[in-house]
Amino acid sequence: MSPREANRLLREAIIQAYFAPQLKKLGYNPTKVKHPAVDGSGVSKDDVLHLFFDAETGADYPDGDEWLMVEYLLPRDVDLPDRLKNPDYFTSLGGGKVERQWRHREIVRYRHGRLKRLEEALVFIDKKREELYSALRDNSVTSKLVGGKA
């Protein structure tokens, strides 16, 4: 088995065995939204931002068993204020059923050397979702969305 394949399998196992159950405890539920670039299912706490784990990106790096990419997807073609259009908040993503979607990508390190930091990674993931959701709410974006909470 190649290091890339081993890292991808390890990442998928960690997602399913740790992150998925822990996110469910935090109020995240499976979503029917499909990501145009990331395989697998996602979860959402609010039906506005949908969280996906990208187990493939970076799996070929030597330290690919220590981190993974998390993507927060806003799967609606909505106009965002310019202050939210940057790598700190959202970048556009084409493809899928919606002409233009918005996403935020984060590298999440869940292990450093021999020390596993899964709980810290989980807290970071949830805090980042809250930060992004708050930015959308504070800029009146959530009130424009069907099912959005103002």
**Are 65 and 7 within 8 A, CB to CB?**
yes
Average pLDDT over residues 5-31: 95
Structure confidence at residue 114 (pLDDT): 63
Structure confidence at residue 65 (pLDDT): 85
Q: Classify domain 3-135 by CATH number.
A: 3.30.1460
On the question of pLDDT at 149 being above 60, the answer is: no
Query: What pLDDT digit, counting tens, does each position of 88-117 carry?
Result: 999 998 766 667 889 999 999 988 666 678
DSSP-H helix ranges across the chain? 3-14, 20-25, 118-138
Nearest to 51 by CA among 59, 43, 60: 43
On the question of pLDDT at 30 being above 80, the answer is: yes
Query: What pLDDT digit, counting tens, does each position of 36-86 carry?
Result: 888 889 999 989 999 999 999 999 888 888 899 999 999 888 889 999 999
Partners of 29 in the β-ladder = 44
Domain ranges of the chain: 3-135
Q: Parallel, antiparallel, or unpaired for β 43-44 and 50-54?
A: antiparallel
On the question of pLDDT at 7 being above 50, the answer is: yes
Structure confidence at residue 40 (pLDDT): 86
Structure confidence at residue 77 (pLDDT): 84
The CA-based diameter of the chain, rounded to the nearest angstrom, is 49
On the question of pLDDT at 148 being above 80, the answer is: no
For residues 41 and 36, what is the distance between their CA atoms, to the nearest angstrom?
Answer: 11
From residue 89, alpha-carbon distances to 25, 53, 61, 102, 115 in Å are 26, 18, 26, 9, 30
